[in-house]
Amino acid sequence: MSASSAFNDEKGGSSSVGEPEYGHDPASGGIFSSDYKRHDDLKEMLDSNKDSLKLEAMKRIVAMIARGKNASDLFPAVVKNVACKNIEVKKLVYVYLVRYAEEQQDLALLSISTFQRGLKDPNQLIRASALRVLSSIRVTIIVPIMMLAIKEAASDMSPYVRKTAAHAIPKLYSLDPEQKDQLIEVIEKLLADKTTLVAGSVVMAFEEVCPERIDLIHKNYRKLCNLLIDVEEWGQVVIINMLTRYARTQFLNPNINEGGGGEKTFYGSDEDEDEDEEEKEKKPYVMDPDHRLLLRNTKPLLQSRNAAVVMAVAQLYFHLAPKAEVGVIAKALQSSVLEPGMFEPYLKSFYIRSTDPTQIKVLKLEVLTNLANETNISTILREFQTYIKSMDKDFVAATIQAIGRCATNIGEVRDTCLNGLVQLLSNRDELVVAESVVVIKKLLQMQPEKHSDIIKHMAKLTDNIQVPMARASILWLIGEYCEHVPKIAPDVLRKMAKSFTNEEDIVKLQIINLAAKLYLTNSKQTKLLTQYVLNLAKYDQNYDIRDRARFIRQLIVPTEKSGALSKYAKKLFLALKPAPVLESPFKDRDHFQLGSLSHLLNAKAGGYQELPDWPEAAPDPSVRNVEVKESVRAVGTVTYRDTGALWGPQKMEGSEGCSFPRASDSASGSESGSGSEESGSGSESEESEEGSESEEEEEEEEEKDKKKKKKELKKPTIAPSSVLKNYELLHRITGEGLSVEYCFSRQPFSPDANMVAVQMQFTNSATSDTKNLHMEDVKLQSGMRVKEFPEIGEREPEDIQCTAMAVMGIDFCDSTQAANFQLCTHTRKFFVSIQPPVGELMRPIFLTENEFKKEQGQLMGMNEITEKLTLDAKCRNEHAIVQRVTTAANLSRVPCGSDKECRFAGRTVTSSSLVLVTVATKEEGAAQLTVNCEKMVIGTMLVKDILLALTQ
């Protein structure tokens, strides 16, 4: 490749990134010569003032980095472009910087000021990426700058920036562990954050920086449990693993009194309000409501699509749940080696296919072996028989071992297994035979007296089997049980003596062993043979064998010099040996947390946190109680909810947050984070609520006092507007003179509280009479119901004044589906339909400010919708807003401490789901609308309608 090809590159257009010349082996020497020149081109391109050229150059440079080529000499040229306006160029420069800054620390410093500027950018994405890059540049000299940036970002308005701050914490920690104390402060602050976005990342930071500071979790425990389901998948894994450890330190072992305990505890949590006063040791075990909260809130995650989440929940249940409940994880988890029994119903899921990869086969085999018991062993053995024929020989060997383990564990089938294995001895494959011999040897040791024929059979095999391990095993067996085969044993030794010099080392050792044993039991026949073998061994190349021969000779052949030991030779050699226990290779890893890397490798990986044992007595559960104001103050910062200036007392602190750029786009998510103060007590969990009930009440009282004072200052609540909108049901012309209008009267419909009252007004402008006005053929969506209006008699023509009114009730099932029916007179039928605006599907309710906040806190996450809007010019005052909102939706005003905010509340008519609306106004007509409603559909539609009402 010459300069000309480089020249072509330059003109190559945008897609030249994938050009073949880059694809070549990066190490091929030919490139280096042209590299230098090419870099000159790139430098030129980077220096040009055309963004497209710069972009092109950066793309090529990044492609070089991706391929692992060195592009470090371009550093000065690249770093100049860090402030480039083009966002893609900028991003690619960031990529470059992060890669090379560590190598070129001095030059990297040139870029720092750009990032510092970026940290103040009104665009939250820019703020976040500036922090990301700044924290990824591993240059020690900027540690103080990083620290400052992280601290600032941790109280940024945008949850995304705060998330980035959480990510930056471990980066700084790995760069300079001395910052730990300061970083813990930031972690503490971020742990108090109520957005799901931040939760996962900050727990990750916690795990990397200060996993031992379990006390930081107390106040956030309940919040984390409650947010968990809305956190993104990766965060869920980290949080669940951390909470498993936390629970092990804070709660009692649910299986402490095995058996009886399990059932009771399931419901036990209902009646343990005053648990702390009582002495736990003497009481039967009662599960801490917080422990229950964790188990309950993680359970639905077993249905996550993410296997890592499922595994995390499974290990949580395995380590924390009462025995009776662990079963729930079995179905979700069919690929792990856990306690047998639990998986028994799923036995067949572990049957092996010939196409499975070997490691899967071995794992499945392990599971099958662990699941084997008296009842299913015959099925499993039949299955094993097919495996033995497999072409994958490693797998066959594993299967034979598995059979051996089944045979040792289940006494009933020992003989069957043994017979099966003996049959395998005539297998053509040597590996299979060898493995069988090894396993048979182990099995025979358990009851040798019964099986002398098998031993004989094996003795014959020595002629054929070449696998050393198998030969060695056979020899050992014969030696060990030579009294069972007194005739054959010396003959075997004879053959072995002949082939001694050609045997493998382990076989030689066993030959010596056999010789020694035979010498001791049957010296008459074997004395000479033994001598011969020992002589051969004496001159063997392997010193182990020479040593062994020397040792044995001294021991067994009596001479004058032989010491006291030789008397005991027989005892030494022919002692009764205990039968071996065939063990799973997967044993002994129980002490690692399930699903962890350490568990898999059966070795402690760096950064592994031990799962502590359950405490003897539960630590004080009240540490997890959360008090609103205290928690806010304790972390010394403002939750972004407060920067929205909700109530007076915190507004002062809120100003601190205001010093940050208030980007117009950064506010959108901020409301969503307004997790309730009470969220710790579990949103819909009655059981767990008791624990914190008392201080909630106190709080409420405080709130009430506060509110009373405020009420004096604020305007009284404005009643729902009485202006009702009329809709046309039947036009005069289509109705041939009969026109019908309807409105939603917003009165409770007395016959059925679940129905929306629809008031209809009939006007007859035709020339003829209209009689028997009634409804027919009502077509409704499933679930909807209609209460028809009573039949209306005659309507005189021309009597315009005399209009008739009727009220009907419709249960719309909280949907805006139309109710279709026919309006019948004595002569005609008209098809009509009534479709309610979403605002009419609710009825107003009265809430106090505190109740409102509490309810709102429970309708977070997916139940909350936030929109930004610019208010219509005529609608800039509070009165107009209230007017318009209440016209759009049948809601009532909720008193509020701030004049920047209007709140409304209602319940849907059918299901009584809460509907909470907040309109927060800002300068210059900007405003933010938040709707919290359990029924998301209603919520979304309501947002649209109110938006329309406020902007037009």
Compare residues 305 and 577 and give the one whose CB is closer to another protein.
Answer: 305
Name the residue with tokens 């898999």: 600
Instruction: Map the footprint of another protein across residues 857-896, applying CB under 8 A.
Output: 861-865
Residues 56-75 that bind another protein (CB under 8 A): 59, 62-63, 65-68
Does residue 436 bind another protein (CB under 8 A)? no
Around Cβ 610, how many Cβ atoms within 10 Å? 12
What six digits make up the tokens of 575? 């002692």
DSSP 557: S
- x/- string (CB under 8 A) for another protein, residues 519-538? --------------------
138 makes contact with another protein (CB under 8 A): yes
C-beta closer to another protein: residue 392 or 503: 392
| CB-CB contact of 802 with 795 (8 Å) | yes
Rank residues 226 and 513 by Cβ distance to another protein and give the closer one.
Answer: 226
- Residue from 114, 179, 201, 688 that binds another protein (CB under 8 A)? 201
Subset of residues 354 to 383 that bind another protein, contact rule: CB under 8 A: 354-355, 357-359, 383
Q: Is 55 in the site for another protein (CB under 8 A)?
A: yes
d(CA 163, CA 427): 63
Smaller CB distance to another protein: residue 394 or 695? 394
β pairing state of 892-894 and 901-908: antiparallel
Our finding on whether 605 is near another protein (CB under 8 A) is yes
**Nearer Cβ to another protein, position 394 or 505?**
394
Q: How far is the CB of 390 from another protein (least distance, A)?
A: 6
Q: Does 47 bind another protein (CB under 8 A)?
A: no
Q: Is the dihedral of CA 237, 241, 244, 249 positive or negative?
A: negative
CB of 787 to another protein, least distance (A): 24
Choosing from 71, 154, 168, 555, the residue that interacts with another protein (CB under 8 A) is 168
**Cα 397-402-404 angle, rounded to 5 deg:** 100
How far is Cα 116 from Cα 103, in angstroms, rounded to an integer?
21
Q: For tokens 């019948």, what's the residue?
A: 824
555 is a site residue for another protein (CB under 8 A): no
Q: From CA 746, how far away is CA 739, in angstroms rounded?
A: 22
Which of the stretches 132-140, 213-221, 708-716, 728-736 binds another protein when contact is defined by CB under 8 A?
132-140
Binding of another protein by 277 (CB under 8 A):
no
Q: Which long-range contacts does 525-531 make (Cβ < 8 Å, 24+ apart)?
A: 525/490, 526/490, 526/493, 529/490, 529/493, 529/494, 529/497, 530/493, 530/556, 531/557
- In 3D, which of 103, 52, 98, 45 has the Cα closest to residue 73? 103
Residues 518 and 479 sit within 8 Å (Cβ to Cβ): yes
Single-letter residue type at 450: K
Q: Is 212 in the site for another protein (CB under 8 A)?
A: no
In the complex, minimum distance from the CB of residue 673 to another protein, in angstroms, rounded to a whole number: 9
In the complex, least distance from residue 862 CB atom to another protein, rounded to whole angstroms? 5
Least distance from another protein to the Cβ atom of residue 409, Å: 23
Name the minimum Å distance from CB 467 to another protein: 17
843 binds another protein (CB under 8 A): no
Piece of 164-172, 565-573, 805-813, 888-896 that binds another protein (CB under 8 A): 164-172
Contacting another protein (CB under 8 A), which of 111, 114, 136, 898?
136
How many Å apart are CA 819 and CA 787, to the nearest integer? 11
**Closest by CA position to 79, among listed 43, 39, 116, 129:** 43
**CB-wise, 532 or 608, nearer to another protein?**
608
Q: Does 164 bind another protein (CB under 8 A)?
A: yes
Segments of 627-753 assigned E as strands: 726-730, 738-748
Distance CA 222, CA 688 (A): 10
Regarding 99 and contact with another protein (CB under 8 A), the answer is yes
Of residues 177, 300, 411, 636, which one binds another protein by CB under 8 A? 300
665 sits near another protein (criterion: CB under 8 A): yes
Interface with another protein includes 612 (CB under 8 A)? Answer: no
Beta partners for residue 805, in sequence order:
761
Distance, CA of 884 to CA of 227 (rounded, Å): 34
Interface with another protein includes 603 (CB under 8 A)? yes
Q: Who contacts 306 (Cβ-Cβ below 8 Å, separation ≥6)?
A: 233, 236, 237
Q: What residue type is assigned to position 277 of the chain?
A: E
Residue 807 within binding range of another protein, rule CB under 8 A: no
Neighbours of 507 (CB within 10 A): 24
- Within positions 721 to 740, which residues make up the interface with another protein, using CB under 8 A? none
Size of the site for another protein (CB under 8 A): 112
Q: Is residue 674 part of the contact set for another protein (CB under 8 A)?
A: no
Q: Which of 388, 420, 392 is nearest to 407 (CA)?
A: 420
Q: Measured from the CB atom, is 525 or 596 closer to another protein?
A: 596
487 and 452 in contact (C-beta within 8 Å)? no
CB of 423 to another protein, least distance (A): 12
CB 88, min distance to another protein, A:
4
Q: Which is nearer to another protein, 168 or 507 (CB)?
A: 168
Among 41, 73, 233, 505, the residue binding another protein under the rule CB under 8 A is 233
Q: What SS3 class is residue 763?
A: strand
User: What residues numbered 321-340 form the site for another protein, per CB under 8 A?
Assistant: 331-332
